Amino acid sequence: MYKSLILLTAVMIILALLIFLTITFLQSIDKKIDYSNKEIKYFIKESSGVTYLVIPYYFWQIGKFNELKRRYTTNFVHDNKNYNIDIIYPCNDHNRQSTDLFFSGLYRDFVAKLSTPCLVSANYGNINNMTISGNSNSISINQTNNDISSEIKRVINNEHFNADDKIFLELFLYKLNDNSVKKHDASKAIDILTKALPFTTAVINMIRTLFFT
């Protein structure tokens, strides 16, 4: 009997050690991922007339969790609507989604309560005499690409973005001039520029038209 108990205890210790090593390994991989350049999948949930932003993540994804807290602080744009983020619930039990690959215990939900949305103006605006207009098929800009970049940079430098935001937006401008902007780049640029609404409405709408229509 004692031998069986000792054997059972040894098996449990080995299993616990394997689980610990696996989680440590997964966390080490997660630390190497630059989530600031990744497009993050989210869900919009309506409950009792309240709108919530829901982003699942694995419990070992500390890097992703920190990026969510950094990225989603004040504003959120979804389907041409600008939401204010009122309350953040960063670490919640997971509500199962149809896209889940594993059981719910491996996930956590980052949840943000959103305020009543305000529609983003359909008018693309005027930046320093630069007229921007567009529809679902095309965009017309009456200045060269270099002039557009200069105008966007002027807006960036005049707003109160933090150092990381400015670095990313400068990189975005470089990619814009190099024709190498990806959708996740444009999405993050919009998230950052949204912090300075309404002064950045024209730039946001231009980026949205260029990359999401």
The number of domains in the chain is 2
In the numeric block, the tokens 């996930």 are attached to 107
pLDDT at 39: 81
pLDDT at 159: 58
pLDDT at 66: 87
Ordered per-residue pLDDT tens for the chain, 213 residues: 666 777 777 778 888 888 788 888 888 888 888 887 778 888 888 877 788 889 999 888 888 888 888 888 777 888 777 788 877 887 777 877 777 778 778 888 898 888 865 444 444 444 444 444 444 333 444 333 555 576 677 777 655 678 888 888 888 888 887 788 888 888 888 888 877 776 777 777 777 777 776
| Of the residues 119, 146, 179, the one at which a domain ends | 119
The strand pair at 139-141 and 130-134 is best described as: antiparallel
* Residue 202 belongs to a domain: yes
pLDDT at 134: 44
Q: Are 75 and 84 in contact (CB under 8 A)?
A: yes
| Of the residues 119, 143, 174, the one at which a domain ends | 119
Helices (H) and strands (E) in the chain, counts: 6, 9
Q: What is the DSSP letter of 134?
A: E
d(CA 165, CA 27): 26
| Of the residues 90, 119, 148, the one at which a domain ends | 119
* Residue 11 belongs to a domain: no
Give ∠ CA 46-49-50 in degrees, rounded to 5: 60
d(CA 70, CA 21): 28
**208 and 130 within one domain:** yes
pLDDT at 30: 85
Q: Could you check whether the bond before residue 198 is cis, i.e. omega within 30 degrees of 0?
A: yes
d(CA 191, CA 165): 10
Closest CA to 55 of 115, 107, 102: 107
* Residue 21 belongs to a domain: no
CB atoms within 10 A of CB 86: 13
What is the residue range of 208's domain? 126-212
